[in-house]
């Protein structure tokens, strides 16, 4: 990979390198700076996310195993934040198991490079993804709204919500959830209270209830299927919860909603 093979309009692109290894950082910064790339460095996932949100780099190189907030948690935060979700993330890690690689890609990374790495390979992949980002931005520019107009949820809360709603009947514990989004239990609880007015699992219970109401009103799933989907394996427990909330059974609620909308029973 030569300097001239970088996209012409992006020769001053900003790369954020998030890694806690001094040796790897030294090697990366040396050859990436020689490629006329502006570098910003962070030493753990939380610091990296905060710098990404503040500086909006063109691409992020992200290690997995780091103290305080690991790379997977950082990627969840980046993809949950409207300001940073479109920044390409390339994992650059010694965690080379297939499960680790698939986890990184499922979280939204565009590439995964194994350590020890060849500098030429890193530069080649960086060049490819910078060029792809440049093309996407050029194609989407007329329709893009200013980021300030989106008013997104706190990214930590948004990332936690996405994890909880992925399988609402089999949610992680509060310590595990906090770890997955790069924070601690107390901070996550405070963020949920300030954002939603409820603790984490009170919010999840409300979401499960609202989801059940929508499925009863709009889907053809039977009561047991809906109970399973929202995390009540037993239809009797689901019916008890529903009666306590609304004073009617799920079946009666469904009938009332269909009569109101004029849909057939």
Catalogue all structural domains in the chain, each as residue range(s) with its CATH number.
Answer: 3-148 (3.40.50.2300), 155-261 (1.10.10.60)
Quote the mean pLDDT of the chain: 84
233: left (phi over 0), alpha (psi -120 to 50) or beta: alpha
Q: Which of 132-141, 149-158, 170-179, 217-226 has the lowest mean pLDDT?
A: 149-158
Most confident segment among 123-132, 178-187, 221-230: 178-187
CB 51 within 8 A of CB 16: yes
Across the range 177-199, mean pLDDT stands at: 91
Cβ-Cβ contacts under 8 Å for 96 (sequence gap 6 or more) = 114, 115
- How many whole angstroms from its chain centre is CA 97? 21
d(CA 37, CA 95): 26
d(CA 108, CA 78): 9
d(CA 210, CA 248): 15
d(CA 130, CA 210): 41
For a pLDDT cut of 90, what percent of the chain falls above it?
31
Global pTM value: 0.69
* Helix, strand, coil in percent for the chain, rounding step 5: 60, 10, 30
pLDDT for 125-144, tens place per residue? 888 888 888 888 777 765 55
pLDDT of residue 263: 59
CB 238 within 8 A of CB 226: yes
Across the range 30-42, mean pLDDT stands at: 85
DSSP code, position 182? T
Q: Closest by alpha carbon to 226, among 166, 164, 168, 265?
A: 168
Residue 60 CA: distances (Å) to CA of 19, 99, 126, 226, 247:
11, 21, 9, 41, 52
Across the range 36-63, mean pLDDT stands at: 92
165-168 long-range contacts, CB within 8 A, separation 24+? 165/207, 168/204, 168/207, 168/208, 168/211, 168/230, 168/231
Across the range 152-162, mean pLDDT stands at: 85
Residues in the chain: 265
Q: Confidence class of residue 255 from pLDDT cuts 50, 70 and 90?
A: confident
């Amino acid at each position: 990979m030569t300097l001239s093979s970088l996209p012409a309009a992006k020769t001053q692109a900003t790369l954020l390198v998030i890694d806690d290894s001094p040796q790897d950082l030294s090697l990366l910064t040396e050859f990436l700076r020689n490629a006329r790339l502006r570098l910003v460095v962070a030493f753990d996932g939380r610091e990296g996310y905060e710098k990404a949100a503040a500086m909006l780099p063109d691409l992020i190189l992200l290690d997995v195993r780091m103290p305080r907030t690991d790379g997977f948690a950082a990627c969840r935060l980046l993809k949950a934040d409207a300001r940073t979700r479109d920044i390409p993330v390339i994992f650059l890690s010694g965690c080379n198991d297939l499960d680790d690689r698939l986890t990184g890609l499922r979280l939204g990374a565009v590439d995964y490079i194994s350590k020890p790495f060849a500098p030429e390979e890193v530069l080649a992949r960086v060049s490819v993804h910078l060029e792809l980002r440049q093309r996407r931005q050029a194609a989407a520019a007329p329709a893009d709204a200013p980021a300030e107009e989106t008013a997104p949820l706190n990214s930590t809360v948004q990332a936690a919500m996405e994890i909880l709603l992925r399988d609402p009947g089999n949610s992680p514990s509060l310590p595990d959830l906090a770890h997955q989004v790069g924070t601690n239990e107390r901070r996550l609880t405070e963020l949920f209270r300030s954002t939603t007015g409820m603790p984490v699992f009170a919010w999840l219970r409300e979401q499960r209830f609202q989801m059940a109401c929508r499925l009863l009103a709009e889907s053809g799933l039977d009561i047991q299927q809906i109970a399973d989907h929202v995390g009540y394996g037993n239809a009797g427990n689901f019916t008890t919860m529903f009666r306590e909330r609304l004073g009617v059974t799920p079946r009666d609620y469904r009938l009332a909603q269909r009569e109101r909308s004029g849909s057939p029973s």
